[in-house]
Amino acid sequence: MLNKGGNRDTTRMLMDRSVSGRVGVITPELDVPAASLPDAVYLRDSLPLPEVSEPEVVQYFTSLSQLNFSIDTHFYPLGSCTMKYNPKINDEVAFLPGFAGIHPQQPAEQSQGALELLYRLQEFLTEVTGMSATSLATLAGAHGELAGVLMMRAYHLARGDSGRTKMGIPDSAHGTNPASAAMAGFDVVTIPSDADGNTDLAALREIAGDDLAGVMITLPSTLGLFDSHILEVCQVVHECGGLVYGDGANMNALLGRAKLGELGFDVCHLNLHKTFSTPHGGGGPGAGPVCCGEILTPYLAAPVVERTDAGEYTLSEPAESIGKISGFHGNFGVLVRAYTYIRTLGAAGLLSISGNAVLNANYIMHELKDIYALPYDRTCMHEVVFSADLQRERGVSGLEVAKRLLDYGFHAPTMYFPLIVHEALMIEPTESETKETLDAFIDALRAIDAEATSEPELVQHAPHTTPVSRLDEATAARRPVLRWEPVEAAAD
């Protein structure tokens, strides 16, 4: 199971095991002139810090690191976030001294290798998305979205088309889409999904007018579905003068099979920290490159890397660029990992990613749909969204099913998202897990369903084997305890 029981208490004790005068570090001899101390009023007589030995410190932090679920220890079928295996060679390459030690302000003539890598990655991603150009400057998926919609805005304004204030976004889009559109100053108009989970074309036609800047489509949608109306969606939007944004965060569903540019999208972003395997979670680090077609290329976020006729690599700013959107040239270490991943797999490998991602999700769907309700019963893409409605009837919620999975040694899937599915359980098996792992996961979900009948309390109070059981999630979010405090100070 997750860890050797009692780890949590051990970690607490370690921090509270301070013994006055115990020293865990030897400070080096002073090798600079001694400075005089400030006025005594500003000085404290004592500082309540834990006084512990070096082994205690090492044990403390190592124990903490083992409390977590991670993709390196467990199957992690978190829908919409592609928590897949990250080959260690990516890290090795990113740690090469020439990459890890380079300074972002080093002049271009001294950074030709790094710039060439960025240039080649731009070219790969442009090819993968079927677009014309790519900027690597954006640091996350949502950041790429913001850059993309700002580019759409700049395009309309440059044409004097200033009345386009609306952004249409389906209710099956990722939650960051409306946030990005609003941040860029647009009024978000929600487009409902139809009974099959596709964009409702009639509803789209109603909002398609000269005030529509464009639409943002998550493909595959957060229902795990490929919108079979996508060509018509692009057509309707283009006919009214709008542009189509593609949320390509989960490109592992489409790699090598469908290109957003060829489907009619004008601009999109990719999540290198999902599809192209950089470890992520807990908020970072990431890279969300923006790729766009010809009409938006002049507006791309700066900088982009160009290759001169003489074969030199330079940083440049596109003619009508929305400008810089982050420091320097993007999240370089992540970009090196993505480049390594693409190069180690090659074209055939990339194609097998989408094949296996979709096959695995459909396998899980097929093996579980007799006991977990399936709101949209059709071939899914990289993830499958069930509803725990049938378990709910026996008093066990989707959240409880998810918590119980932890006892079986699996990370919980995404729950209660997308919002349009009641008791949603959103499962993304990813392309990198074996059939044996998927079978064990399927068995666990079947066992939990049986428990919902035979022993519902067991599921309702899960998890039973983790270092902490049910967290008070609201308090954890509102009043997080992020640092240790000495007992005396905490008592005031």
Kindly list the residues in this chain that would bind ligand PLP in the complex (CB under 6 A).
80-81, 140-142, 174, 176, 218, 247, 249-250, 271, 286, 288
Helix H or strand E encompassing 189: strand 187-191
- Cβ closest to ligand PLP, residue 130 vs residue 285: 285
Asked whether the CA dihedral 429, 433, 439, 444 is positive or negative, the reply is negative
Q: How far apart are CA 388 and CA 489, in angstroms?
A: 46
Place of tokens 């099956």: 172
Q: Give CA angle at 24 (19, 30), nearest 5°.
A: 120
Sequence-distant (6+) residues with CB within 8 A of 287 are: 136, 138, 139, 140, 271, 272, 273, 278, 330, 331, 334, 335, 338
Toward ligand PLP, which CB reaches closer, 416 or 484? 416
- Our CB check for ligand PLP shows the closer of 142 and 388 to be 142
Residue 170 CB, shortest distance to ligand PLP, in Å, is 12
Task: For strands 304-307 and 424-427, give the pairing.
Answer: unpaired
Gap between the Cα atoms of 285 and 281, Å rounded: 8
Check: CB of residue 130 under 8 Å from CB of residue 262.
yes
Judged by beta carbon, residue 178 or residue 261, the one nearer ligand PLP is 178
Q: Which residues are within 8 A (CB) of 114 and not within 5 positions of it... i.e. 6 or more apart?
A: 98, 99, 102, 332
Pick 90 or 271: Cβ nearer ligand PLP: 271
Specify the residue, 150 or 448, whose C-beta has the smaller distance to ligand PLP.
150
Name residue, tokens 């999109």.
268
CB of residue 361 vs ligand PLP: minimum separation in angstroms? Answer: 14
- What is the nearest approach in angstroms of ligand PLP to the Cβ of residue 127? 21
Kindly tell me which of 11 and 176 has the beta carbon lying closer to ligand PLP. Answer: 176
**CB of residue 436 vs ligand PLP: minimum separation in angstroms?**
27
Residue (121 or 462) nearer to ligand PLP, CB: 121
CB of 218 to ligand PLP, least distance (A): 5
- Nearest residue (CB) to ligand PLP, 63 versus 278: 278
Decide: residue 438, CB within 10 A, 0-12 exposed, 13-18 middle, 19+ buried: buried
Instruction: Output 273 or 404, the one with its CB closest to ligand PLP.
Output: 273
Q: What are 134's strand-pairing partners?
A: 291
- Smallest gap from Cβ 283 to ligand PLP, in A, equals 8
What three-state secondary structure class fits 437? helix
Q: Which residues contact 306 (CB under 8 A, 6 or more apart)?
A: 119, 313, 314, 315, 316
Q: Are 363 and 438 in contact (CB under 8 A)?
A: yes
C-beta of 116: minimal distance to ligand PLP in Å?
26
Nearest distance from C-beta of residue 154 to ligand PLP, angstroms: 21
Q: Minimum distance between the CB of residue 288 and ligand PLP, rounded to whole angstroms?
A: 5
Residue 424 Cβ vs ligand PLP, minimum distance, rounded to whole Å: 14
Nearer to ligand PLP, 11 or 193 (CB): 193
Dihedral sign, CA of 223, 225, 228, 229? positive
End-to-end CA, the chain:
38
Coil/strand/helix, residue 416: coil
What radius of gyration do the chain's Cα atoms show?
Answer: 26
- Least spacing, CB of residue 187 vs ligand PLP, in Å: 20
Q: Are 416 and 398 in contact (CB under 8 A)?
A: yes
Question: CA separation (Å) from 24 to 9, 30, 46, 60, 104?
Answer: 21, 18, 18, 13, 36
